[in-house]
Amino acid sequence: MSENTFHIRVKKEYAAALIEDLIKVHAVEPIPDEEAIELTEQQKAALDNELANIASNPGYLQNWNDIKHRYKKP
């Protein structure tokens, strides 16, 4: 594994092993810190606002199957 530091938050133990395996078979490519894109304060605020909307109103999100059906080609 490279000595670079990568930004990722893994919430499940099995996911970390899966990511390691994907890197080994070159299915994903980690991005080193120097190539990482930082969000602006405005982008962070917009993201925080969206997350707050989702947390306070679970109905705010739409069901993926409903969206696919709505935009399905005839």
25-57 tens-digit pLDDT = 988 777 777 666 788 999 999 999 998 988 898
Q: Which residue has the higher pLDDT, 53 or 8?
A: 53
Residue 1 confidence (pLDDT) above 50: no
The reported pTM is 0.42
Domain ranges across the chain: 1-37, 38-74
pLDDT at residue number 8: 67
Q: Which of 4-8, 41-45, 62-66 has the highest mean pLDDT?
A: 41-45
Distances (CA, A) of 3 to 12, 18, 33, 54: 23, 19, 11, 37
Distances (CA, A) of 50 to 12, 28, 46, 61: 24, 28, 6, 10
- What is the percentage of the chain residues whose pLDDT exceeds 90? 16
